Amino acid sequence: MKSIGVLMTCPMHKYLEQQLENHFNLFKLWHCNSSITEFLKTHQGNTIRAVVGNTEIGADAELIASLPSLEIVASYSVGLDKIDLRKCEEKGIRVANTPDVLTDDVADLAIGLILGVLRGICASDAYVRIGKWKDADFGLATKFSGKSVGIVGLGRIGSAIAKRAEAFGCSISYFSRSQKPFANYKFYSNIIDLATSCQILIVACALTEETRHIINREVIDALGPKGILINIGRGAHVDETELVSALLEGRLGGAGLDVYENEPEVPEELLGLGNVVLQPHVGSDTVETSDAMADLVIANLKAHFSKKSLLTPVI
């Protein structure tokens, strides 16, 4: 398989890059100093049969059209919003992602963000470091155990978050496209009703046109001035302008965010808020999970080029 051309769209996990170089003829799109078209002309775009992308750069219609020999897009992520799935279907291009292996890490971070916001972990850490504890106690925080938790999207990650929150004695409810037969949690067919009923609202659904800005002013106001919003989904799930306004005006109690609308840009207004915990989109970024995701990308590519079934097919 060493002769098979694989295009990597941007820097990812070093282990993944090494494995791709070991097994395939790897091209790196970020080495391009000109247009994609010029890059592909220089690097024989017609020999590239696979694309490996992620949540930053996937495979849009322009890239797909530039690669006449493209057979498969293997995403180093579970999200598919950076891949033009319709164009892939039209051209018969296979698509694979990396579900399951990152579920635990993302769910763990969601709980960490909740604790970070409610218990003021980041703020109290800073309080100790700058010496303020010598002058006065930090003050009271808010309890997590026993809170009502609403989850937007009860898929793999949403379900894993629910199990963890249950261990804290939280009541669980959820909003989804349809009621899940396996879940014993209260189902809401209207996201406003879910936001009204819970104290902590967690966004864990896939990003689609239907879920873009699903967290809007109405949802935020329903969650209210004591409510906490957690987003470990995608930045575009939340109307960021409305989120910032609600936090500044006290219409929302706090937020824990791992994702943003215009990454890596973060609204400057959020940086000085003590009731907000910010992470740089690291939901699945542990050594163990990153290695497992890389192995799954390689396994899907090997399966495809060996004419075997994909391990985690999307198309």
Domain boundaries, the chain: 5-97+287-306, 102-278
- Phi, psi for residue 93 in degrees, rounded to 5: -90, 130
**Which CATH superfamily does the domain covering 5-97+287-306 fall into?**
NAD(P)-binding Rossmann-like Domain (3.40.50.720)
The question of whether 263 is a catalytic residue gets the answer yes
- Torsion angle of alpha carbons 8, 9, 10, 14, nearest 10°? -20
Q: Which of 59, 10, 35 is nearest to 27 (CA)?
A: 10
The question of whether 23 is a catalytic residue gets the answer no
List the catalytic residue out of 234, 242, 261, 304: 234
Residue 117 is encoded by which pair of tokens? 């916001």
The question of whether 234 is a catalytic residue gets the answer yes
Alpha helices in 183-267 (DSSP H): 191-197, 217-223, 240-249
* Strand-pair partners of 152: 175, 203
pLDDT score recorded for residue 40: 72
Which run of H or E residues covers position 254? Answer: strand 254-257
pLDDT per position as a tens digit, 233-275: 999 999 999 999 999 999 999 999 999 999 999 999 999 999 9
Architecture of domain 102-278: 3-Layer(aba) Sandwich (3.40)
Q: How much is the pTM?
A: 0.91
Q: Determine contact, residues 233/256, Cβ cutoff 8 Å.
A: no
pLDDT score recorded for residue 39: 73
List the catalytic residue out of 38, 89, 263, 288: 263
Residue 195 is encoded by which pair of tokens? 């936001």
Buried b (16+ CB within 10 A) or exposed e, 234-264: bbbbbbbebbbebbeeebbbbbbbbbbbeee
List the catalytic residue out of 43, 156, 217, 281: 281
For the chain, counts of helices (H) and of strands (E): 12, 12
Same fold, 5-97+287-306 and 102-278: yes
* Pairwise CA distance, residues 311 & 4, whole Å: 20
Digitized pLDDT (tens) for each residue of the chain, 315 residues in all: 899 999 999 999 999 999 999 999 999 998 876 667 777 776 666 789 999 999 899 999 999 999 999 999 999 999 899 999 999 999 999 999 999 999 999 999 999 999 999 999 999 999 999 999 999 999 999 999 999 999 999 999 999 999 999 999 999 999 999 999 999 999 999 999 999 999 999 999 999 999 999 999 999 999 999 999 999 999 999 999 999 999 999 999 999 999 999 999 999 999 999 999 999 999 999 999 999 999 999 999 999 999 999 999 999
